[in-house]
Structure 1
Amino acid sequence: MSEKTPRRQTVATPGGDARVHWYEADAPRAVLALGHGAGGGVEARDLAALAATLPAHGWTVALVESPWRVAGKKVAPAPRTLDAGWRAVSPALAAPGLPLVVGGRSAGARVACRTAAETDAVAVLALAFPLHPPGRPEKSRADELPLGKLPLLVVQGGNDPFGRPAEFPTDATVVEIPEADHSFTVPKRAELPQETALRLLTDAVAEWIPGAVSPAHG
């Protein structure tokens, strides 16, 4: 991930201990706190790429490992339990006294969107937001997006079966990673190499954060 070894912090929540992996900038301007998905952990390629890249630009990245994952369980609990855990961790994320941008990938993005107003977040980053179950566009979760409430960036694979970029509401800011799937993997036959796809993702986030943070903390 990053050249620096992360500082790890254990945080008690109603569902057990969570673990925060801190990738700290030398002179941080904000904290970007990211949760993982329901099928993986903080080692996901998009989370790892952001943790490796953003601290050099002045943004501390906090990867939050959910209690169920820390406990070694393979199945995520109900959404309300995930939300309660994220709320319990949020004071630790805000402890540095910096502007807090919340987000995550997939299920983690949903949690961050649903609870953003309760965590004093100034902006939200949604990576691979599962807009609907595959093949079920009528089961939209667009109402979970904090549209018009906080600065929001959605980064979505062009071939994500959980929602392609064009399916999102027109007032959502969406960056497309061409040919990428839900895990931001691109096919070997793709014109865009995997490394370049991840660079597009990290560049988009690095470009977005300053403007997202500045309205509340100029």
Structure 2
Amino acid sequence: MKKALVAGLTLIAAVSTQAFAYEQGDMVVRVGAAMVHPAGDGALKGALDVGNNTQLGLDGTYMLNNQLGIGVLAATPFKHDITLNGAKIGSTKHLPPTVTLQYHFNTNTQFHPYVGAGINYTQFFTERSSLGDLELKHSFGPAVEAGFDYELSKNWGANLGIWYADIDTKAKLNGAKLDTVKIDPVVYMIGASYKF
């Protein structure tokens, strides 16, 4: 009887581990609210500020094996108000796709934490300013992330992710060069995940 009980518990544990572990070839898609919080100081010695914005975020991971994955962060375009000494002087939109190599910790539970590092590309567009013709150049920079999936069923789960990206853009106003604008945002995303 004891042997049968031990064998049964071992089988349940093995099945549970397989049910919740990521494996090579798995694809995890996450969707939710993504907020960009610029943390850097801009040109003009910090007098220029870029506001927060929240959009629909889309994040996906392709598992290369049971611990390494390739992550991609995308979103609908973010729009930021630009202020100078507290007064709004313009706005801009941008897309910040980010690609990372992720390391997923083996926990053998429903809780799947991961960390990652990679590169961010940010394309600015629809720049507007009451001071004149504003232009922000695109940006490449390193990015890091941390997050976790919490599995609610075999396929569905909840997700929380945080990214930091080094976004520096060269600014021009009426053709004249301003200082480099350091946006350096922290991105927060909370949403649902689905494993294929």
Normalization by structure 1: what TM-score?
0.25
Return the structure number with greater helix share. 1
Q: Which one has a bigger Cα radius of gyration?
A: 2
Return the structure number with greater strand share. 2
Which structure has more RCO (C-alpha within 8 Å, separation ≥ 6)?
2
